[in-house]
Amino acid sequence: MTILVIGATGNIGRHVVTGLRDRGAAVRALSRLPGADTVAGDLTRPETLHGPLSGVDSVFLLWPFFSADGVPAVLDVIAQHANRVVYVSALSAEGGGVWGEVEAAIRRTDLEWTFLRPGGFATNTLEWAGAIRAGRPVRMPYPDAGRSLIHERDIADIAVLALTEAGHAGRTYALTGPAVVTQAEQVRILGEVAGRPAVVEEISAEQARATMAWADETFVDAALGYWRTLVDDPEPVTTTVEEVTGRPARTFTQWAHDHADDFRPLPAADVAERYVAAFRAGRMDQALRWAAPDMVRVAPLENGGKHVELRGVADITANAERLTGDVEIHAVEVDGPYPRGDRFAVRFSFDETDEPTGQRVSRTKLSLYTVADGVITREEVFYFDPPATGDRSAITG
């Protein structure tokens, strides 16, 4: 039996791959970036999936997008090869949304399916790692929101059973952690386990919105609205993990122990490696976890030659959006990191088209980062070629 794991490099998928291999299954791990342990394929280009799917019986599927538009084409390719799909949906699929749409599309195929419907993932709290590492308060709205966050390994364990055993076809599993823990309590547990006392600073929903610039606006609205309801009406707790696996779901404290190193300061060279790896994988959300919440960025050529200091991830992200607003980026080459002491340098080369002029150019910049307490506190940017947007007259004049 050969199984294709889509999302194999992600939080759940990596444990699905090892869990299946431990059971002796033949596994193919899909990634957009081909590597020694992975096969190349891209969900946004369904034609690339035929190779990875040849000879495959069962597929572990997740849909990491904010729209379900591309789903029918992908399912069509999967159904040409495989018989069974185990899909990571979400508790909220009942109410529709992208997860509900993907489920409906799967039901319309002839594939045998199992839907895993997890609530919030404990891995979402990695977003707080930068603040906890740096010994700063974790800023969030609704600290009293009660959540039954699930350990990614529990989702993976159930996926492995559904992919390898009979008896899971047509089943929908609502999956949560074993108890409700408020967000403030999660922060306290993470600090305690990492040996770095951590506290919450409550911010408004509007302030939180500014820190979520990486996400789709509809998603941000839905997430903030949902978290607000959890203050008075915490998330439900299900016993499905125990019913399916025969042992209780892992607690949030267990998750914190498994990830304690993520919340402790690492040496600057290790921060550099992880930041650059996330950047290379196109995961800006993960790269930003290595940024101090009040990180400073100085890039004179983006500001008409002025040494303006942008402060805070929200302002830095907004500036990046302004600069790339009318630029189409074809490829980014990342050279580095080159660490030395508490600093490291990275050279970025962008192959891009400046949309107003239609000119395709290669633009190179060097970023010099400073690390303190395991997070990036400062980025100084030196351009070899000036950026396309920003204050053009000041750059060329």
Ligand X SMILES: NC(=O)c1ccc[n+]([C@@H]2O[C@H](COP(=O)([O-])OP(=O)(O)OC[C@H]3O[C@@H](n4cnc5c(N)ncnc54)[C@H](OP(=O)(O)O)[C@@H]3O)[C@@H](O)[C@H]2O)c1
Q: Is-contact 318 312, C-beta < 8 A?
A: no
Which residues 93-122 are close enough to bind ligand X by CB under 6 A? 118, 120-121
How distant is the alpha carbon of residue 389 from its chain centre?
28
Closest separation in Å from C-beta 110 to ligand X: 23
Binding string, 28-57, against ligand X, x = CB under 6 A?
---xxx--------xxx-------------
Q: Phi/psi at 382 (nearest 5 deg)?
A: -120, 120
Tokens of 189: 């547990």
Q: Phi/psi at 330 (nearest 5 deg)?
A: -90, -40
Measuring CA to CA, how many Å separate 114 from each of 124, 164, 183, 251? 24, 12, 30, 24
Closest separation in Å from C-beta 116 to ligand X: 9
10 binds ligand X (CB under 6 A): yes
Which residues 255-294 are close enough to bind ligand X by CB under 6 A? 281
Among 11, 238, 240, 317, binds ligand X (CB under 6 A): 11
Among 22, 24, 36, 64, binds ligand X (CB under 6 A): 64
- Site stretch for ligand X (CB under 6 A), options 19-27, 60-68, 351-359, 374-382: 60-68
Closest to 309 measured CA to CA, from 296, 322, 294? 296
Closest separation in Å from C-beta 121 to ligand X: 4
Nearest residue to the partner ligand X, using Cβ: 10
Among 3, 7, 289, 293, binds ligand X (CB under 6 A): 7
- Which amino acid does the sequence have at 111? L
Closest separation in Å from C-beta 358 to ligand X: 27
Closest separation in Å from C-beta 123 to ligand X: 6
Closest separation in Å from C-beta 145 to ligand X: 13
- Site stretch for ligand X (CB under 6 A), options 9-17, 181-189, 198-206, 341-349: 9-17
Closest separation in Å from C-beta 275 to ligand X: 16
Closest separation in Å from C-beta 10 to ligand X: 3
- Site stretch for ligand X (CB under 6 A), options 59-67, 128-136, 170-178, 213-221: 59-67
Among 3, 61, 78, 88, binds ligand X (CB under 6 A): 88
Which residues 114-173 are close enough to bind ligand X by CB under 6 A? 118, 120-121, 123-124
Give the total of residues touching ligand X (CB under 6 A): 25
* Residue closer to ligand X, measured from CB, 6 or 301: 6
Spatial strand order of the sheet with 291-298 comes to: 309-311, 291-298, 375-383, 359-372, 343-354, 327-340
* Residue closer to ligand X, measured from CB, 5 or 375: 5
Among 19, 27, 63, 183, binds ligand X (CB under 6 A): 63
* Residue closer to ligand X, measured from CB, 12 or 213: 12
Closest separation in Å from C-beta 59 to ligand X: 12
Question: Which residues of this protein are in contact with ligand X, per CB under 6 A?
Answer: 6-13, 31-33, 42-44, 62-64, 88, 90, 118, 120-121, 123-124, 281
